[in-house]
């Protein structure tokens, strides 16, 4: 882009001093012997191309603390964890797929319109949630319901949103299922456009830094490796690093963006390799090792707050489920590959074995937990299923704050008038009206 | 004060009265490429007035995030021509955040300022008037001032409006329009058009730069120069034209426009953007729906052509005074 603003205004600018941070950091004498104003890079006489972020040309390593069977690795930096915390983490790791299974199945039965499971990513989402403070502002993509569960959002609110009923405080029945929002739980409104939350998270971090009483909170932004290809990824990391903003970016690298394997998403060393390019402290972690995620995110949070600057965590995991209920993933990957992954590297069984080794868990408790959680989820679903949709007037509310524009006011009246005229005569409307609060009667009355 | 000074003054008031307010964008820290942020960084500090990396989608997204946390975010997009990388953030995110979250989150404290309209030699990418592209973004407000007093009052109104606002500043007026501007804090209402001259024979509606071409056209109608006199019939020279500045493009003030057209029976709309998909399409449709029995001539539009804004051809592209005069004469003689 050519910017000729100054010239257009007829105001020729004085050449600006372009002393960069790098230049300021370099002693004057070194500048004279040869350094560039925008870099601290030394000159070399040999022709040499560079294509790695590590000194040895290897890939960025993946941090893990327990092996595939839940045993601590030799010399691993284990997070300090007591039995109560371990049990809470494990319970939520089991609750997430229990809830997913029920909601996936009711979608198949046509009782909700859409759903997305987090199968295989339980350790990444729950481990991160456990490492954060409850007042950290979370901006998610859509596969992070586990954070809300961890924060006590409750199954009734989950069901309310997915069914779009009168208890849907997240969206008042306006957004598709799994698009949660809760101010109370510091969980920002999910939207479908990918990666838009990334630069927003930079702004949230910057605002927190400037909010009295919130200087101990950070912004946490989740995304998948596919979303990291969007321009907003570049924008968001660049801004959070440069301005700077206490914002943690957590990438769930689960190998697929719908059908596109990560090999077709990028040619570099995953997402983590990009972090240093932005000057961001970065770690790659085994996303199926909940204790490694816990430990990495805790440390990342500490750095984020101390430096008031972005940090990047890439959690390597595998999307065991289909992308969504509108997707059959066996059209582009072998069923056996998925089954193998579930067996070889299951984040939930790894954590269970870790706990069993310490005598913190037993087969009996496992049975009881599964039965209890399933009953809880079914109870919440059955209850939610019986509730009506919100008032039909909500269709027009909240577009604007303050005085309602004439457009909305007139269009609301137009629909009211049509409902009064045709509400009981036009079958597609008649059936729908019955699902709303008071059968839509408040609108029909208002149209009189 | 001229327009850039009035804009700067408005931001200074906003920063003084509201500790959460910040101003950011490309090159705003040294004063901005149009001088609109001159001295603000020195006065309020680099924590509140700062440069961002060169990324429009980043600027818009960052502002949404700040506003969602209750901070006042005044963002600058260097030219309206470069607002399109932020289109997704503005239309899908800023406009819809309140609605989609059931009113839990909003970015009403976000204002995006951007210089717009042609400037004599801006070519394709320093001349655009993209207001029409945002007409479908319910949840958003679009405001365009015509003068320094208007710029300050409408900008403060936009900054304090509880909805996200895109504020387009006609850049050719930055230094050319000068008037006495109150130095105290005042706001002008959004969503309200202003009748600049009362009239009974024709309603002339515009916003931003072309309002000045409208003024010239009205003068030429009364007192045509000798070369044009043969084209301006004597009987039309005393016509009383009602000139309206729309000021807010979204949501626009339908009542003022309809009241005027019901009185005059004739409407001419003038804007720099191309006709197809332009704001005048919406206005024309609403006016013919509401004023059908009162209309004595077709609603006419004087706009830029449906081409990009071409460098060497600008004088033939913009809706200048002659084209406005010609359309007024046509409409009055219909």
For residues B277-293, average pLDDT:
98
Chain B hits for A403, Cβ within 8 Å: 191
> Any idea which fold B3-173 has?
Rossmann fold (3.40.50)
B56 is catalytic: yes
Q: Which residues contact A264 (CB under 8 A, 6 or more apart)?
A: none
Q: Would you call A198 an interface residue with chain B, using a CB distance cutoff of 8 Å?
A: yes
Q: Would you call A135 an interface residue with chain B, using a CB distance cutoff of 8 Å?
A: no
Smallest CA–CA separation between B318 and chain A, in Å?
A: 17
What digits encode the pLDDT tens for the residues B162-182? 999 999 999 999 999 999 999
| Cβ distance of B61 and A191 shorter than 8 Å | no
User: Are A434 and A285 in a shared domain?
Assistant: no
Smallest CA–CA separation between B35 and chain A, in Å?
A: 9
Q: Which position has the higher pLDDT, B144 or A68?
A: B144
Chain B hits for A171, Cβ within 8 Å: 100-102
Task: State the Cα–Cα distance between residues B243 and A161, nearest whole angstrom.
Answer: 50
User: Are A331 and A437 in a shared domain?
Assistant: no
Cis amide leading into B273 (omega within 30): no
Half-sphere exposure of A127 (CA within 13 A, CB side): 33
Q: CA dihedral defined by A367, A370, A375, A380, rounded to 10 degrees?
A: 160
B126 is catalytic: yes
Smallest CA–CA separation between B268 and chain A, in Å?
A: 22
Q: What pLDDT shows up at residue A22?
A: 41
User: Are A245 and A370 in a shared domain?
Assistant: yes
| Cβ distance of A175 and B52 shorter than 8 Å | no
Mutate which of B25, B28, B57, B65 to test chain A, going by most A C-beta atoms within 10 A? B65
CB A194 within 8 A of CB A139: no
Q: Which residues pair with residue B202 across a beta bridge? A: B241
Query: For residue A72, is it within any domain?
Result: no
Q: Which of B61, B161, B251 comes nearest A203 by C-beta?
A: B61
Residues 66-105 of B with CB under 8 A from A: 66-71, 73, 78-79, 82, 85, 88-89, 92-93, 96-105
| Cβ distance of A204 and B66 shorter than 8 Å | yes
Smallest CA–CA separation between A81 and chain B, in Å?
A: 33
Chain A residue with minimum CA distance to B255? A406
Q: Would you call A397 an interface residue with chain B, using a CB distance cutoff of 8 Å?
A: yes
Chain A hits for B54, Cβ within 8 Å: 1
| Cβ distance of A181 and B174 shorter than 8 Å | no
Cα Rg, chain B, nearest whole Å: 20
| Cβ distance of B138 and A408 shorter than 8 Å | yes
Give the per-residue SS3 of chain B.
Answer: CEHHHHHHHHHHHHHHHCCCCEEEECCCCCCCCCCCCCCHHHHHCCCCEEECCCCHHHHHHHHHHHHHCCCCEEEECCCHHHCHHHHHHHHHHHCCHHHHCCCCCCCCCEEEEEEECCCCCCHHHCCCCHHHHHCCCCCCEEECCCCHHHHHHHHHHHHHCCCCEEEEEECCHHHHCECCCCCCCCCCCCCCCEEEECCCCEEEEECCCHHHHHHHHHHHHHCCCCCCHHHCCHHHCCCCEEEEECCEEECCCHHHHHHHHHHHCCEEEEEEEECCCCHHHHHHHHHHHHCCCCCCCCCEEEEECCCCCCCCCHHHHCCCHHHHHHHHHHHHHC
Chain A hits for B115, Cβ within 8 Å: 5
Query: For residue A35, is it within any domain?
Result: no
Q: What pLDDT shows up at residue A344?
A: 86
How many angstroms from the chain centroid is the CA of residue A323?
Answer: 15
| Cβ distance of B65 and A182 shorter than 8 Å | no
| Cβ distance of B191 and A198 shorter than 8 Å | no
Q: Which residues contact B180 (CB under 8 A, 6 or more apart)?
A: B1, B149
User: Are A274 and A308 in a shared domain?
Assistant: yes
Give the per-residue SS3 of chain A.
Answer: CCCCHHHHCCCCCCCCCCCCHHHHHCCHHHHHHHCCCCCCCCCCCCCCCCCCCCCCCCCCCCECCECCCCCECCCCCCCCCCHHHHHHHHHHHHHHHHHHHHHHHHHHCCCCCCCCCCCCCHHHHHHHHHHCCCCCEEECCCCCHHHHHHCCCCHHHHHHHHHCCCCCCCCCCCCCCCCCCECCCCECCCCCCCCCHHHHHHHHHHHHHHCCCCCCCCEEEEEECCHHHCHHHHHHHHHHHHCCCCEEEEEEECCEECCEEHHHCCCCCCCCCHHHHCCCEEEEEECCCHHHHHHHHHHHHHHHHHHCCCEEEEEECCCCCCCCCCCCHHHCCCHHHHHHHHHHCCHHHHHHHHHHHCCCCCHHHHHHHHHHHHHHHHHHHHHHHCCCECCHHHHCCCCCCCCCCHHHHHHHHHHHHHHHHHCCCCHHHHHHHCCEHHHHHHHHHHCC
Smallest CA–CA separation between A352 and chain B, in Å?
A: 37
Chain A residue with minimum CA distance to B170? A9
First to last CA, chain B: 42
List B26, B126, B131, B314, catalytic entry: B126
User: Are A177 and A237 in a shared domain?
Assistant: yes
* Among A386, A405, A430, residue at a domain's last position: A386
Smallest CA–CA separation between A132 and chain B, in Å?
A: 19
For residues B35-39, average pLDDT:
98
List B26, B56, B76, B169, catalytic entry: B56
User: Are A335 and A417 in a shared domain?
Assistant: no
Q: Would you call A136 an interface residue with chain B, using a CB distance cutoff of 8 Å?
A: no
| Cβ distance of A239 and B102 shorter than 8 Å | no
ipTM of this predicted complex? 0.97
| Cβ distance of B69 and A208 shorter than 8 Å | yes
Q: What pLDDT shows up at residue A3?
A: 45
Q: Output the CA–CA distances (angstroms, integers) from residue A81 to A78, A88, A123, A131, A135, in the order listed.
A: 8, 11, 15, 11, 21
Q: Would you call A200 an interface residue with chain B, using a CB distance cutoff of 8 Å?
A: yes
User: Which among B103, B298, B228, B201 is positioned nearest to A173, based on CA atoms?
Assistant: B103
Q: Break chain B into its structural domains and give their ranges.
A: 3-173, 194-332
Domain pair B3-173 / B194-332, same fold: yes
Chain B residue with minimum CA distance to A7? B33
User: Are A328 and A404 in a shared domain?
Assistant: no
User: Are A242 and A179 in a shared domain?
Assistant: yes
B260 backbone φψ class: left, alpha, beta (φ>0; ψ -120 to 50):
alpha
Q: What is the CATH number of the domain that holds A258?
A: 3.40.50.970
User: Are A366 and A406 in a shared domain?
Assistant: no
Q: Would you call B289 an interface residue with chain A, using a CB distance cutoff of 8 Å?
A: no
Task: State the Cα–Cα distance between residues B8 and B151, nearest whole angstrom.
Answer: 10
What digits encode the pLDDT tens for the residues B218-252? 999 999 999 999 999 999 999 999 999 999 999 99
Apex CA B177: angle with CA B201 and CA B42, to 5°? 145
Q: Would you call A174 an interface residue with chain B, using a CB distance cutoff of 8 Å?
A: yes
Q: Which residues contact B269 (CB under 8 A, 6 or more apart)?
A: B205, B206, B279, B280, B283, B284, B299, B300, B301, B302, B303
Q: CA dihedral defined by A40, A46, A47, A50, rounded to 10 degrees?
A: -50
Query: For residue A29, is it within any domain?
Result: no
Q: Would you call A3 an interface residue with chain B, using a CB distance cutoff of 8 Å?
A: yes
Query: For residue A172, is it within any domain?
Result: yes
Smallest CA–CA separation between A46 and chain B, in Å?
A: 33
Chain A residue with minimum CA distance to B251? A405
* Among A367, A386, A405, residue at a domain's last position: A386
User: Are A400 and A380 in a shared domain?
Assistant: no
* Residue B205 phi, psi dihedral angles, 5° rounding: -120, 130
For residues B246-271, average pLDDT:
98
| Cβ distance of A211 and B60 shorter than 8 Å | no
Residue B283, token pair as written in the block? 């206005």
Q: What pLDDT shows up at residue A51?
A: 80
Residue ranges making up the domain that contains A434: 394-446
Task: State the Cα–Cα distance between residues B222 and B181, nearest whole angstrom.
Answer: 30
Does B127 have pLDDT greater than 80?
yes
Query: For residue A48, is it within any domain?
Result: no
Residues 336-375 of A with CB under 8 A from B: none
> Any idea which fold B194-332 has?
Rossmann fold (3.40.50)
Query: For residue A130, is it within any domain?
Result: yes
Question: pLDDT digit of tens for each residue in chain A (448 aa)?
Answer: 444 433 333 333 333 333 344 444 444 444 445 678 888 888 889 998 888 777 676 899 999 999 988 999 999 888 889 999 999 999 999 999 999 999 999 999 999 999 999 999 999 999 999 999 999 999 999 999 999 999 999 999 999 999 999 999 999 999 999 999 999 999 999 999 999 999 999 999 999 999 999 999 999 999 999 999 999 999 999 999 999 999 999 999 999 999 999 999 999 999 999 999 999 999 999 999 999 999 999 999 999 999 999 999 999 999 999 999 999 999 999 999 999 988 888 999 999 999 999 999 999 999 999 999 999 999 999 999 999 999 999 999 999 999 999 999 999 999 999 999 999 999 999 999 999 998 888 777 765 5
Matching residue, tokens 């321009």: A231
Residues 148-207 of B with CB under 8 A from A: 161-163, 171, 174-175, 191
Task: Give the total number of structural domains in chain A.
Answer: 2
Q: Would you call A409 an interface residue with chain B, using a CB distance cutoff of 8 Å?
A: no
Chain B hits for A153, Cβ within 8 Å: none
User: Are A199 and A160 in a shared domain?
Assistant: yes
* Among A386, A404, A430, residue at a domain's last position: A386
Smallest CA–CA separation between A174 and chain B, in Å?
A: 6
How many angstroms from the chain centroid is the CA of residue B50?
Answer: 25
Q: Would you call B125 an interface residue with chain A, using a CB distance cutoff of 8 Å?
A: yes
Q: Would you call A106 an interface residue with chain B, using a CB distance cutoff of 8 Å?
A: no
Mutate which of A161, A235, A401 to test chain B, going by most B C-beta atoms within 10 A? A235
Task: State the Cα–Cα distance between residues B168 and A415, nearest whole angstrom.
Answer: 34
β-pairing verdict for A219-224 and A247-253: parallel
Other C-beta atoms within 10 Å of A373: how many?
Answer: 20
User: Are A308 and A428 in a shared domain?
Assistant: no
Task: State the Cα–Cα distance between residues A84 and A18, nearest whole angstrom.
Answer: 55
């Amino acid at each position: 882009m050519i910017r000729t603003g100054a010239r257009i205004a007829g105001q020729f600018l004085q050449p600006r001093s372009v002393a960069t941070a790098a230049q300021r950091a370099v002693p004057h004498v070194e500048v004279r012997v040869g350094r560039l104003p925008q870099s601290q890079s030394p000159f070399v006489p040999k022709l040499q191309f560079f294509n790695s972020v590590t000194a040895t040309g290897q890939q960025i390593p993946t941090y893990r603390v327990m092996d595939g069977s839940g045993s601590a690795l030799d010399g691993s930096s284990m997070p300090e964890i007591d039995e109560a915390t371990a049990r809470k983490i494990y319970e939520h790791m089991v609750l997430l797929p229990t809830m997913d299974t029920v909601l996936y199945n009711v979608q198949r039965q046509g009782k909700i319109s859409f759903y997305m499971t987090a199968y295989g990513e339980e350790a990444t989402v729950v481990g991160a949630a456990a490492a954060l403070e409850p007042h950290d502002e979370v901006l998610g993509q859509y596969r992070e319901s586990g954070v809300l569960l961890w924060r006590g959002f409750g199954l009734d609110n989950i069901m309310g949103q997915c069914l779009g009923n009168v208890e849907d405080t997240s969206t008042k029945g306006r957004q598709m299922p799994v698009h949660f929002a809760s101010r109370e739980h510091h969980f920002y409104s999910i939207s479908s456009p990918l990666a838009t939350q990334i630069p927003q998270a930079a702004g949230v971090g910057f605002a927190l830094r400037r909010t009295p009483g919130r200087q101990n909170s950070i912004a946490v932004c989740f995304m998948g490796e596919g979303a990291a290809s969007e321009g907003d990824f570049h924008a968001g990391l660049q801004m959070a690093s440069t301005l700077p903003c206490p914002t943690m970016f957590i990438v769930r690298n689960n190998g697929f963006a719908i059908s596109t394997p990560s090999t077709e998403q990028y040619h570099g060393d995953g997402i983590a390799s990009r972090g240093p390019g932005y000057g961001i402290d970065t770690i790659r972690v085994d996303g199926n090792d909940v204790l490694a995620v816990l430990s990495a995110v805790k440390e990342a949070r500490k750095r984020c707050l101390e430096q008031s600057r972005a940090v990047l965590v890439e959690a390597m995991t595998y999307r065991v489920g289909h992308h969504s209920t509108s997707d059959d993933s066996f059209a582009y990957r072998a069923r056996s590959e998925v089954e193998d992954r579930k067996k070889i590297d299951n984040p939930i069984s790894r954590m269970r074995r870790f706990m069993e080794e310490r005598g913190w868990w037993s087969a009996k408790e496992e049975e009881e937990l599964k039965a209890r959680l399933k009953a809880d989820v079914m109870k919440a679903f059955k209850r939610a299923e019986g509730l009506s949709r919100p008032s039909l007037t909500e269709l027009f509310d909240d577009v604007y704050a303050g005085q309602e524009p004439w457009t909305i006011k007139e269009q609301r009246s137009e629909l009211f008038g049509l409902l009064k005229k045709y509400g009981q005569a036009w079958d597609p409307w008649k059936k729908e009206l019955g699902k709303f609060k008071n059968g839509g009667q408040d609108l029909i009355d208002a149209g009189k | 004060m001229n327009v850039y000074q009035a804009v700067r003054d408005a931001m200074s008031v906003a920063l003084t009265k509201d500790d959460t307010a910040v101003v950011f964008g490309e090159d705003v820290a040294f004063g901005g490429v149009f001088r609109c942020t001159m001295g603000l960084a020195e006065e309020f500090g680099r924590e509140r007035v700062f440069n961002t990396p060169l990324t429009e989608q980043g600027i818009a997204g960052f502002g949404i995030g700040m506003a969602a946390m209750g901070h006042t975010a005044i963002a600058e997009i260097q030219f309206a021509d470069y607002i399109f990388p932020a289109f997704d953030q503005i239309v899908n995110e800023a406009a819809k955040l309140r609605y989609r979250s059931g009113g839990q989150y909003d970015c009403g404290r976000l204002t995006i300022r951007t210089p717009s309209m042609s400037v004599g030699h801006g070519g394709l990418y320093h001349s655009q008037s993209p207001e029409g592209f945002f007409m479908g973004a319910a949840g958003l407000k679009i405001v365009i001032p015509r003068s320094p007093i208007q710029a300050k009052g409408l900008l403060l109104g936009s900054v304090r409006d509880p909805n996200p606002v895109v504020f387009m500043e006609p850049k050719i007026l930055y230094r050319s329009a000068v008037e006495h501007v109150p130095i105290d804090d005042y706001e002008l209402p959004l969503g309200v058009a202003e009748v600049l001259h009362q009239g009974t024979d024709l309603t002339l509606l515009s916003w931003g730069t072309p309002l000045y071409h409208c003024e010239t056209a009205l003068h030429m109608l009364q007192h045509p120069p000798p070369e044009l006199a043969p084209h301006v019939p004597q009987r039309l020279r005393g016509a009383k034209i009602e000139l309206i500045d729309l000021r807010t493009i979204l949501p626009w003030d339908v009542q003022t426009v309809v009241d005027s057209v019901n009185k005059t029976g004739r409407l001419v709309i003038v804007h720099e953007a191309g006709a197809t998909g332009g704001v005048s399409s919406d206005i024309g449709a609403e006016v013919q729906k509401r004023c059908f029995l009162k209309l004595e001539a077709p609603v006419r539009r004087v706009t830029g052509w449906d081409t990009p804004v071409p460098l060497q051809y600008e004088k033939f592209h913009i809706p200048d005074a002659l084209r406005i005069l010609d359309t007024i004469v046509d409409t009055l003689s219909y």
